[in-house]
Every structure is written in structure tokens, then in C-alpha cells.
Structure 1
Amino acid sequence: MSPVQRFHQVTNDALVKISEHCPPGAKLALIIVTPGEPERDIVLEDQGLDRNEVVSALRRRGLSIDGDNAYKRDLCDAIVGALAMGAQNTNPPPADHWGQRFWDIGREERASSEQLLEALTALTQVAGECEQIASNYSGTIDGIFEHGGDDHEDPSCAIFHRLYYAMFEARAAIAKATI
């Protein structure tokens, strides 16, 4: 018998003896971790053991979602991917998949952003027309700036000054959102 086979036999015999002293319905799991050599890790578990219960038991004993491990990185990558795919309205998860919730959030956020972009575009169009009207009565932007800008005594000059500078940010936001 090889050392690995002998180990499994001894371990199995020990688990049987331990299980005789467990409360009714309890399930056993034995996990041997070899740091830096995951291929040598060993997981032995009772038939019918719910692995989610194992994780829940570990969490009750201090396992935290904080810290770094591959499982959490993969899970977070899957969530970010579902959000991104939802935002792009592509590659929805299979029916009843846990990622559907995140895909839906991505889709809803994208729809909300599109509505805001449409409203900002319409508002920018109107503000641009108002800016043009105000500029017809106000002279140059530099002259208005030199004479008080937003606090200019002529309301059409103050309006033109505010709209002139607000339009820079609005147009930049629209350009960024439509790239």
C-alpha cells in the first residue's frame, strides 16, 4: 500500500471513530492545507455534507471576507463582469443564476445614465441657444469678465457669463459620456 493510500485509510478510520461521538445529524470534514502547494491539499468529507454549511461554520469561527484570497478575487471579478455586461446589455447570465442581480443593476445604471445624458444634451442645447441670445446683447466674454462677470450690473451680461462657463463643463461631460 502506498503512503497516500495508507494515509487515506488511517484518516478514514479516524473519521469513522470521531463520527461515532458527534451529535446526531452532524457531518465531518477534514481539510489538510499545504501552504504554497495547493496540489497537495486534501479535503475529506462526509457524504451529504453541504459545503456551504462548512463555509458558514468557518465564518462563525472568524473567517472574514476581508483579506486576500483567490476565491474572493474571482467572485469580485465575476460581479464586476456582470455589472459591466449588464451596462453593455450583452451576455446575460443563465436563468436563475446569482449573477443576474448584478447584471440587472448594471443594465439599470446604464439606462439611468442614458436618461441623464439625454436630459443634459437637451438642456445644453437650450442653454446654448440662451447663451447665444445673451451674447448678442452682452459684448465679449472678456469684457463681461472684466466688469464683474456673474455680478455684472446688466442681467443679460451676468446670464451670458454664467452660461458661457457652464457650457464648457456640460459639453465636456457629454463628450466624455459618448466616447
Structure 2
Amino acid sequence: MSAINRFHEVANDALVQISDHLVPEAKLTLAIYVPGEPEQDIVLMGPGAAADEVVNTLRRRGGLSLDGSNIYKRMVCDSIIGAMAMGKQNSGPAPDGHWAKEFWEIGRAEGQQRDELVAALEHLVAVTTPDANGQLGAKEEHLASLEHARAMIRLHRG
């Protein structure tokens, strides 16, 4: 019997022994890891144990608050930021039913709002810019507002 198989057998026997002493509604999970070697991770879950509840327990009792630093939370946040950025650019939508779709749609709504604002500013500039003969009689403050609108258009059109 290999050392790994023997370990699993011993761990499983220990889980059974511990389970015999738990209150009836308690669930048991054993997690073993070697830092920096995720291929050696072992998670043994007793009957009826739910992964979400294990994570909730670690969050409550193991210091995994939303304010703490951990790689899983960082990866989730990076995925959300990426989905929102892709949505704003209207590219690479998350598939229907995927958890990131909601964030992609938030980003897309922001992108559409930006596009509508820029289009409105472009229209405003087009209809209020004096022609070569200065036919609109624009005042200096109007020209400053138009220049500001042009700067905003350049900024948001990239």
C-alpha cells in the first residue's frame, strides 16, 4: 500500500472516530495542505458536508473576512473588475447564466451611458459651433463651453 493510500485510510478512520463523538447535526471536513504545493491538497468531507458551509465556517472562524487579504477573494474581485471593463468596451460577454454576466451588464450599461453622453456632446458641438462667418454669434462663454465639450468628447472617444 502506498504512503498516500495509507494516509487516506488513516485520515478516513480518524474522521469516522471523530464523527462518532459529534452532535448529530454536526458535519465534519478535513483539509490538509502543503504550502506552495496545491497538487498535494487533500479535502475529505464527511457525509452531508457542504462546501459552502465549510467556506462560511472558515470565513467566520478562520479570519476570512471581506476586509482581509486572501488570494481567492483577490481572484474573484479581479474577475469582477475584468467583467465590468469588458462590458464597458462591449466585448467578450460572459455566457448566459454565468455569475459574471451581471457585472458585464453593469459595465455595458456604463459604456452605453458614456456613448450616449459623447453623442449628445458631439451633436451640441455640431449645432452650436459658429460657421466660418460666425453666423451663430456665439459669446465667449459659449465658446469656452464648446471647447470643454470638445475636450470631453476627445477624452471619452479615446
Both proteins in one fold, TM over 0.5: yes
State the match for 1:49 in structure 2.
49
State the match for 1:111 in structure 2.
112
Larger radius of gyration: 1
State the match for 1:8 in structure 2.
8
Residues 13-56 of structure 1 deviation map (CA, whole Å, 9 limit, x = unaligned): 11101111222232211112322333333221124422111111
Q: Secondary structure of the equivalent of 1:30? A: strand
Deviation at 1:83, TM superposition (A): 1.3
Distance 1:34 1:66, change over 3 A: farther
Length, aligned pairs only = 154
Q: 2:155 and 2:96 mapped to 1: Cα distance?
A: 34
Q: Secondary structure of the equivalent of 1:54? A: helix
TM-score normalized with structure 1 length: 0.73
Residues 121, 150 of structure 2: 8 Å contact kept: no
State the match for 1:150 in structure 2.
none
User: In proportion to residue count, which structure has more helix?
Assistant: 1
Runs of 4+ in 1 over 6 A off after TM superposition: none
State the match for 2:148 in structure 1.
169
TM-score normalized with structure 2 length: 0.81
Tell me whether 28-37 or 104-113 shows the greater mean CA deviation: 28-37
Task: Return the letter of the residue paired with 1:93.
Answer: A
Please, which runs of 5 or more residues in structure 1 have no aligned partner? 136-158
Tell me whether 108-117 or 63-72 shows the greater mean CA deviation: 63-72
RMSD: 2.3
State the match for 1:87 in structure 2.
88
Q: 1:172 and 1:127 mapped to 2: Cα distance?
A: 15
Task: Return the letter of the residue paired with 2:51.
Answer: R
Q: 2:64 and 2:157 mapped to 1: Cα distance?
A: 43
Q: Secondary structure of the equivalent of 1:31? A: strand
Q: 1:127 and 1:64 mapped to 2: Cα distance?
A: 54
State the match for 1:23 in structure 2.
23
Please, which runs of 5 or more residues in structure 2 have no aligned partner? none
Q: 1:28 and 1:129 mapped to 2: Cα distance?
A: 77
Q: 1:17 and 1:53 mapped to 2: Cα distance?
A: 22
